[in-house]
Amino acid sequence: MEFELSVKKMTLREQISFLTGKDFWHTAALDRLGIPPLLLSDGPTGLRKMKGFGNITAICYPSAAAIASSWDKEGTKAFGEKLGDECRAERVSVLLGPGVNIKRSPLCGRNFEYYSEDPFLAGTLAANYINGVQSKGVGTSMKHFAANSTEDFRFKADSIVDERALREIYLRGFEIAVRHAQPWTIMMAYNKINGKYCTENSWLMTDVLRGEWGFQGLTVSDWTATADRVRGLKAGLDLEMPGAGYYTVQKVAKAYRAGEVSAEEIETGARRVLNLVDKAAEGHLSEAAPAWDKEADHAYAVELAKKCPVLLKNDNQLLPFSKDDKIAIIGARAKKPLIKGGGSSSVNAYKVDTPYNAFEFRGLDLSYADGYDLTMLDEVKPTLLEEAAEVAKAADKVLLFVSCSDMDVQEGFDHVNMDLPVAMNALVEKVADVNKNVAVILSTGSAVILPWADKVGAILQTYLLGEGFGAALPSLVLGEVSPSGKLAETYPKSMRDLACAKDLKVDNDLNLKYRESIFVGYRYFDTAEKEVAYPFGFGLSYSKFAYSDLKVVRTADEKVAVCFNITNAGDMKADEIAQVYVGAKFPSKVYRARKELKEFARVSLEPGETAKVELTLDKCAFEYFSVDLDKWVIEPGKYSIMVGASSRDIRLTEDIDISSADDLSKEADYADFAPHYFKANIAEVSDVEFCNVLGYDLDEYLPDRTDSRLTAEDAIADAVASKTGRKINGYIDMVNSIPGVPDAYKKLVTESVKTMPLNRMVQVSRGIFSDNMAAGLVTLLNDGSPMDMVKLFALGVPDTLKAVGMPALQKRAAKSTEKKNR
């Protein structure tokens, strides 16, 4: 409380200074009152704490897509605890994670950093992660709130999504985590939702997050996501990051003087930042930083990595391999594994054991071929293929390393399609032609298309397993540990099969239409009865499991207890992940998914052992969000409780009657105006039908195009219609020809510069590139006169000088006042 109380001792200007960061990674500080700055660092795969132009060495853990495949509640909490300890050692007060966004489409560039297509799984794991980190007195920043499903044009993309889909799918995971873990902070996403930037959305930040869910912490903008600091503050955005210093302070002060923002609004934001300082001070800053045993944490990363991989195929028990097999290791990824994604996840890994070395260390009979050139994955190199085929021919079994390209595990832009690089696909085909015992070790960040799946014997999807990948792999391949992960996302047979196939990318107005409403992932495939390559929740094991004795009973507190047994019927110790789905068995006035995940458990069993699994469903398990009644409601009737090994492998079912006190007589009859949704026939949903569900007319919503001139809210990429705009875009593209810099990084930089609205450039430069200069650039991009631009630039110079000089002057003034007061 100490720091929070000091808000009253601050001048209004000092309070305002706390509404923006001190710099790129710190919150504001105030020496006069002894308020320290807090360090915020990425997250979520490990610590990406910047040092100079690089990052400190830290443990690189499995990415969220891999962690989600473990379906391990306790394991995820323990992982959070480990990260919390590491943050303490590095004086990081807030870890920027976890990423809870729903995988709407496999093309989203950041899917590797997100958990699942299912909000219950995502929210439950996020809550455990957060509880783990925060149990160590360190905060988290659950991100990116909300409906942040695309990286293309991420600064301005507008998610056009109906409220039911928002509530049930895109907000639900965040809600679960807020209710069960109270993250210290929540990061507001770049995008808009139905026309409003998340950072300016009072419905989202204030009504729902605080009012309905009881969020107690601080809202922080994603880095450069504040379009307008004053509007943001009024809507409930507490902290702007990175800090814009004097630039923001004078903007908010001006708005205060104009009566646009109240002293109370300013104090509230500042108080929440100070409350965060209190938590950090009590949590860890008051103690000396503990030592960090990186060797021990690396060993932990290896163990964690063993829990995540998903065995997608294992014909004739090709895996595990025997130690006596003559094994060909093929694929350059065996020596240069893909263990992490870029952007916030680019942890500077402490120790990366390569799979090849790890197998060699086991003293096996190995041979090796590169198979492809990692620097030219778009090109098939016949000599490398031939060499690989020769090596494969001479071996008993082949371990073939296949991955997506670095470009497909990066923030800032989306994937073009779901395909693996051509060189990888060609290699699998070639090797599978000469050896029938091929086990593919797959490393991708999201669901992909595997055109050769029928031709190989086994496929182990490892996702991005972090630095423990290499060391963990031999245990799985040699059968010391059984793979036990299950998919947290559906693998479609083709991209055309996706519910969002028509709306994979933003349109010309940067709108991303969530036409499919609630039908995301298995909710769509199972309701539409569409074949898939690998269903949600699917994963094989070296053992096998029998499910029995399902009991579904209403408890005294109006919950539903679900009990069943799982027996390890194989001859090896292994873990099984059981899933509980709920589906309504009656015709409804609203469209519903055939089944929805409502609970799950991971159990570890010795051969022959039986575990009794006891899970509880609370009333949320039967609710849907009624837009017309503006609340969560339960329809009375018979519900199926389905216990499965995957969404398509239901082993036990029992029905239960659920009563309801909700008056549903005023619920709209969706069959009248949204008929195609009832069988999840999304391909037939017209714009009109979508608008019926959306509740507003998209035609009216489209921006007025009568004035096509750009403004400071536009970006350089928006200016391709102008001569100068094209030129500037061309200059930016020249970055791509710099040698020695990874392509994925170059693309992140060029896309960010091109698509960042000009007013955010002002913010990120702390006003040094001033508003007038941005206006000058806008003039140029509108093909205006260069003279006008020069004039505006000149007009901007005083602001630039102020932005540079004022903070130093203010610091000096504060120091001398302090001296005088002493």
The binding site for ligand BGC (CB under 6 A) comprises 42, 96, 143, 222-223, 344, 411
Helices 771-781 and 786-821 pack at an angle, to 10 degrees, of 170
SS3 of 313, please?
strand
What gap in Å lies between CA 10 and CA 103, rounded to an integer? 44
For the bound state, the minimum distance from the C-beta of residue 464 to ligand BGC, rounded and expressed in Å, comes to 16
For the bound state, the minimum distance from the C-beta of residue 141 to ligand BGC, rounded and expressed in Å, comes to 7
Phi, psi (5° rounding) for residue 75? -60, -40
For the bound state, the minimum distance from the C-beta of residue 239 to ligand BGC, rounded and expressed in Å, comes to 13
Judge whether 523 and 598 are in contact, CB under 8 Å: no
| Catalytic choice (118, 222, 297, 370) | 222
CA angle 188, 151, 738 (to 5 degrees): 120
Q: Where are the beta strands (DSSP E) in 66-135?
A: 94-96
Residue from 289, 237, 247 nearest 90 by CA:
289
CA angle 616, 620, 625 (to 5 degrees): 165
Q: Which is nearer to ligand BGC, 96 or 400 (CB)?
A: 96
Judge whether 276 and 94 are in contact, CB under 8 Å: yes
For the bound state, the minimum distance from the C-beta of residue 143 to ligand BGC, rounded and expressed in Å, comes to 5
Residue from 807, 801, 799, 771 nearest 229 by CA:
771
Q: Which is nearer to ligand BGC, 411 or 799 (CB)?
A: 411
Alpha-carbon distance values, 814 to 501, 644, 676, 774 (Å): 58, 65, 65, 31
Respond yes or no on whether the N-terminal peptide bond of residue 146 is cis (omega within 30° of 0): yes
What gap in Å lies between CA 242 and CA 224, rounded to an integer? 6
* 275, two tokens: 């409350």
Q: Which is nearer to ligand BGC, 223 or 525 (CB)?
A: 223
Count of CB atoms within 10 A of residue 492's CB?
Answer: 23
For the bound state, the minimum distance from the C-beta of residue 242 to ligand BGC, rounded and expressed in Å, comes to 8
Q: Which is nearer to ligand BGC, 101 or 517 (CB)?
A: 101
Q: Which is nearer to ligand BGC, 344 or 763 (CB)?
A: 344
* 643, two tokens: 């216990």
Q: Which is nearer to ligand BGC, 42 or 799 (CB)?
A: 42
Q: Which is nearer to ligand BGC, 29 or 50 (CB)?
A: 50
For the bound state, the minimum distance from the C-beta of residue 320 to ligand BGC, rounded and expressed in Å, comes to 38
Give just the sign of the alpha carbon dihedral 233, 235, 237, 240: negative
Phi, psi (5° rounding) for residue 659? -95, 170
Q: Which is nearer to ligand BGC, 155 or 246 (CB)?
A: 155
> In Å, how far from its chain's centre is CA 106?
12
For the bound state, the minimum distance from the C-beta of residue 749 to ligand BGC, rounded and expressed in Å, comes to 12
Alpha-carbon distance values, 8 to 230, 264, 265, 285 (Å): 21, 11, 14, 23
Q: Which is nearer to ligand BGC, 410 or 490 (CB)?
A: 410
Judge whether 676 and 657 are in contact, CB under 8 Å: no
Q: Which is nearer to ligand BGC, 344 or 779 (CB)?
A: 344
Q: Which is nearer to ligand BGC, 21 or 283 (CB)?
A: 21
For the bound state, the minimum distance from the C-beta of residue 108 to ligand BGC, rounded and expressed in Å, comes to 12
What gap in Å lies between CA 524 and CA 709, rounded to an integer? 41
CA angle 680, 686, 689 (to 5 degrees): 75
For the bound state, the minimum distance from the C-beta of residue 223 to ligand BGC, rounded and expressed in Å, comes to 4
In 438-466, which positions are buried (b, 16+ CB within 10 angstroms) versus exposed (e)?
bbbbbbbbbbbbbebbeebbbbbbbbbbb
Judge whether 758 and 718 are in contact, CB under 8 Å: no
Mode of pairing for the β-strands spanning 610-617 and 596-605: unpaired
DSSP per position, 342-374: SGGG--EES----HHHHHHHTT-EEEEE--S-T
What gap in Å lies between CA 647 and CA 582, rounded to an integer? 11
For residue 377, the surrounding DSSP H or E stretch is none
Judge whether 192 and 138 are in contact, CB under 8 Å: no
Q: The sheet that has 139-145: what strands, in order across it?
A: 40-42, 94-96, 139-145, 185-188, 218-221
Q: Which is nearer to ligand BGC, 223 or 401 (CB)?
A: 223
For the bound state, the minimum distance from the C-beta of residue 602 to ligand BGC, rounded and expressed in Å, comes to 28
For the bound state, the minimum distance from the C-beta of residue 683 to ligand BGC, rounded and expressed in Å, comes to 32
What gap in Å lies between CA 436 and CA 456, rounded to an integer? 7
222 classed as catalytic: yes
Cα first-last separation, the chain: 25
For the bound state, the minimum distance from the C-beta of residue 411 to ligand BGC, rounded and expressed in Å, comes to 6
Radius of gyration of the chain (CA): 27
* 252, two tokens: 């908010």
Catalytic residues: 222
